[in-house]
C-alpha cells in the first residue's frame, strides 16, 4: 500500500527532531540551512539528504559539525567507509552536506580538507525496444501501462511522472508541460498519439480532476515507492534481467531518440539538462551509423 510519507522521509523527520532536541544549537543551525536551501530552490530530496546526514553526525558527537576538530570529522568519514556505508551516495551526501553547511556558516576555509568525490563514469543501462514493449504488454492495468508509456515516451524523471497535473496536459497540441523540477525550469515534451489516447482513457475511467496519477486513497499523489514497485514487477514479469529503475526508461528514451536521428541539442532540451555535457553520454551508447571520413570539397562540387 502506498503511504503519504514513506519510511525514508519519516526517518529524516525523526533524526532531525532528535538532533534539535538533543544537540545544542542544532535547531537554529537547521533553520538557517533550510532557509538558504529554500531560497536557492534546492530539491526536496537534496534538503532531506543533507538534513539527515548532518543530524546523524551531530547526534554521533552530540555537538554541531562546525565545532568539530579535523580528526573528529576524519574519523567519522573513515568510520562510514570501514563499516560499509549503505551505498556510495550515502557517503557522498555526508560530504556534500558538510561542505554546504561550512559554506553557509562562512567556513569556506574550514580546517579540514573534505575528500573529493569521484563521479561514477559507468554508462547507464538502456533497454531494447522489444524490452520496453514487453513491459507494457505485461501491465494488467491501464494506469501501469500509461506510467511506463510516459516514463519512456516522454523521458520523465520519477518525480515528474508522479506529479503530472491535468492542467499541464495539452491534448489538442499533443504536448506535456513538465514544470520546474531538477534545474528549476519548465520544458515541453511531445506526447504522441498513443499517449494522448491512453491519457484520455485513464481520465475517463478514473475521473481524475487534478493529478493524473493518485495514490490508493485517490487523494494523495502516487508515491515514489509505488512507481518503483510497478517498474520492478513489470521487469520481472517480462523476464528482463537488467538492473532497471525508473530512470532507466529515461536513459532509454534519450538513446532511442538519438538512434532514430534526433540531434543531441534537441534531446538535451527534451531531457531538461542544464549542460550539453550531461547529454553527450548517450553518444557512447546509441547505435548510430558511422560515416566514413570524407573531403567536404568533393561534396561542395558534387564530385563522386
- Which of 219, 249, 224 is CA-nearest to residue 234? 249
Q: Which of 157, 187, 256, 268 is catalytic?
A: 157
C-alpha cell recorded at residue 103: 559554506
Q: Can 268 be counted among the known catalytic residues?
A: no
Catalytic-role residue among 36, 182, 197, 237: 182
Alpha helix locations (H) across the chain? 7-22, 26-39, 44-61, 70-83, 88-104, 129-138, 142-153, 158-162, 193-206, 224-237, 246-259, 264-271, 276-279, 296-300
Q: Facing residues of 176 across strands?
A: 169, 189
Using CB atoms within 10 Å of the CB of residue 114, give its burial: 0 to 12 exposed, 13 to 18 middle, 19+ buried.
middle
Told to judge if 47 belongs to the known catalytic residues of this protein, a careful annotator would answer no
Q: Could you confirm whether 247 is annotated as catalytic? A: yes
Active site (annotated) includes residue 273: yes
Active-site annotation holder among 47, 60, 143, 247: 247
DSSP 174: T
Q: Give the DSSP letter of residue 67.
A: G
106 DSSP 8-state letter: T
Candidates 60, 99, 237, 273; catalytic one: 273
From 53, 145, 250, 251, active-site residue: 250
Active site residue 157: yes
* Selected catalytic residue, list 30, 100, 253, 282: 282
The answer to whether residues 123 and 283 touch, using CB atoms and an 8 Å cutoff, is: no
Contacts of 165 (CB under 8 A, 6+ apart): 210, 211, 212
What SS3 class is residue 165?
A: strand
DSSP three-state, residue 290: coil
282 carries an active-site annotation: yes
User: Phi/psi zone of residue 60: left (φ > 0), alpha (ψ -120 to 50 degrees), beta?
Assistant: alpha
- Active-site residues, by number, are 157, 182, 247, 250, 273, 282
Amino acid at each position: 500500500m502506498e503511504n503519504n510519507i514513506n519510511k525514508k522521509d519519516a526517518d529524516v523527520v525523526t533524526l532531525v527532531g532528535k538532533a534539535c532536541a538533543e544537540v545544542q544549537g542544532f535547531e537554529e543551525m537547521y533553520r538557517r540551512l533550510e532557509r538558504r536551501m529554500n531560497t536557492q530552490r534546492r530539491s526536496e530530496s537534496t534538503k532531506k539528504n543533507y538534513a539527515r546526514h548532518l543530524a546523524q553526525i551531530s547526534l554521533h558527537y552530540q555537538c554541531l559539525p562546525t565545532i568539530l576538530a579535523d580528526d573528529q570529522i576524519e574519523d567519522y568519514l573513515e568510520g562510514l567507509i570501514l563499516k560499509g556505508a549503505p551505498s556510495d551516495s550515502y557517503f557522498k551526501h555526508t560530504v556534500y552536506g558538510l561542505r554546504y553547511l561550512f559554506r553557509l556558516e562562512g567556513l569556506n576555509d574550514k580546517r579540514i580538507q573534505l575528500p573529493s568525490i569521484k563521479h561514477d563514469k559507468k554508462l547507464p543501462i538502456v533497454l531494447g525496444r522489444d524490452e520496453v514493449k514487453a513491459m507494457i504488454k505485461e501491465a494488467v492495468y491501464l494506469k501501469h501501462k500509461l506510467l511506463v508509456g510516459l516514463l519512456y515516451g516522454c523521458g520523465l524523471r520519477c518525480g515528474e511522472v508522479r506529479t503530472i497535473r491535468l492542467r499541464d496536459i495539452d491534448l489538442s497540441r499533443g504536448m506535456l508541460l513538465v514544470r520546474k523540477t531538477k534545474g528549476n525550469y519548465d520544458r515541453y515534451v511531445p506526447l504522441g498519439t498513443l499517449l494522448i489516447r491512453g491519457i484520455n482513457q485513464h481520465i475517463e475511467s478514473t475521473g481524475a480532476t487534478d493529478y493524473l496519477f493518485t495514490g490508493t486513497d485517490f487523494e494523495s499523489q502516487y508515491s515514489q515507492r509505488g512507481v518503483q514497485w510497478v517498474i520492478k514487477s513489470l521487469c520481472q514479469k517480462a523476464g528482463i534481467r537488467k538492473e532497471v529503475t525508473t530512470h532507466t526508461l529515461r536513459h532509454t528514451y534519450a538513446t532511442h531518440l538519438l538512434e532514430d536521428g534526433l540531434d543531441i541539442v534537441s534531446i538535451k532540451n527534451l531531457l531538461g539538462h542544464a549542460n550539453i555535457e550531461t547529454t553527450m553520454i548517450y553518444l557512447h551508447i546509441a547505435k548510430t551509423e558511422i560515416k566514413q571520413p570524407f573531403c567536404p570539397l568533393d561534396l561542395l562540387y558534387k564530385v563522386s
